[in-house]
Amino acid sequence: MSTATAAIEGDGIESGRSQPQINVGVLGATGTVGQRFITLLSNHPWFVLHRLGASPRSAGKKYREAVNWKQANAIPSSVREMMVYECKPEHFSECAIVFSGLDADAAGDIETAFRAADLCVFSNAKNYRRDPNVPLIVPFVNPSHLSIIPQQQSLLSPPLSKGFIVTNANCSTTGIVIPLAALERAFGPLELVLVTTMQAISGAGYPGISSLDILDNVVPHISGEEEKIEWETLKILGGVSESDTGVKSFDMHARHPLRVSASCNRVPVIDGHTECLSVRFARRPPPSPQQVREALAAFTPDAKALGCPSAPRHTITVHEEPDRPQPRLDRSYQDGAGVNVGRVRQCPVLDIKFVVLSNNVSIGAATSSIINAELAVLKGVVPT
């Protein structure tokens, strides 16, 4: 394999690390999440788009013929003429990594088959997030959960030497757990989190919610969303415990019980989830708003320290202006790979309240999967 030195200019980071070029595939390549994967991977310094998978009706066509392209940028020239294949493992045997942008209706059986074929699957779908042996990873928060992969492999029949599934979180969960992790790192465990979301319409996929339902309107219900936030936050912010017999499990933040209450709303914004949080710390007295601002701005995750080429220079951007962050102004900063926080202030009911903006189609989706894969490569979880 040829090698490349990862170097991202501008708002990215320079890792200075040489990595072998790694063949990757994308499942659900013609969907909106798959399109975002292709946009990000088309000029990736390590990952080479080698295979595209989609439904049987798209198989056998050139990508430009099969896709209804909905991204702001044109289809990458390196991808336009690529052939689309069915989502079957035998077509992806030359790929070390497979990214899944499949809808949940199709993802379960297909991802299982790819794992059974000893392929490394990084999934954006929800199907395996609750699996007790599948890590649910937000790359700036809990890459240590990759440690459960050998157990996942050993419990399958037959046991696997290379294949596994890693999932990334729901888009609305991703936006909040990054600042919450920064606060727990700086000030110790949280006891309570209240969050109200204002979620963009792109989170519903394409064609998504009807214009008659969303224009001049706010929809105060997104099916299953509140439960996802409340449960996923505990798995992500919790640790991995090990029994006396060596069995690992996710502790769901049990050592310091955390209660999360979410209220979710769909709003007429194209991209960018805005979330308003109030939090209570176990520590007494709690940190001041200024201490919280400083801790958020200083947060440096493993993904940046290790040199993941897709990690942003600033994981959390803290805004001092009273009217920021805003989706239209801030969602594209660092290509949507970080999160924006503003309005950090004292809460008269809990301790601290603030606003988070995250790009749901970037760090809330494909970007997370790609950085998860970069971490897995750097940690030796993916053989290269």
Catalytic residues: 171, 273
> How many Cβ atoms are within 10 Å of 94's Cβ, its own excluded?
9
Pairing mode, strands 190-199 and 164-167: unpaired
Instruction: Look up tokens 């006891």; give the residue.
Output: 191
What does the alpha-carbon distance between residue 227 and residue 218 come to, in Å, rounded to a whole number? Answer: 20
**Which burial class, exposed, middle or buried, applies to 356 when counting CB atoms under 10 A from its CB (0-12, 13-18, 19+)?**
buried
What does the alpha-carbon distance between residue 318 and residue 315 come to, in Å, rounded to a whole number? Answer: 10
What does the alpha-carbon distance between residue 331 and residue 363 come to, in Å, rounded to a whole number? Answer: 10
**What does the chain come to in residues?**
384
Which H/E stretch holds residue 154? helix 149-155
Closest CA to 197 of 171, 215, 217, 232: 171
Are 347 and 281 spatial neighbours (Cβ–Cβ below 8 Å)?
A: no
What does the alpha-carbon distance between residue 127 and residue 235 come to, in Å, rounded to a whole number? Answer: 15
What does the alpha-carbon distance between residue 319 and residue 255 come to, in Å, rounded to a whole number? Answer: 33
What does the alpha-carbon distance between residue 251 and residue 233 come to, in Å, rounded to a whole number? Answer: 12
> How many Cβ atoms are within 10 Å of 106's Cβ, its own excluded?
17
Establish whether the linkage from the previous residue to 325 is cis, with ω within 30° of 0. Answer: yes
Q: How far is CA 37 from CA 31, 72, 205, 220, in A?
A: 10, 14, 14, 30
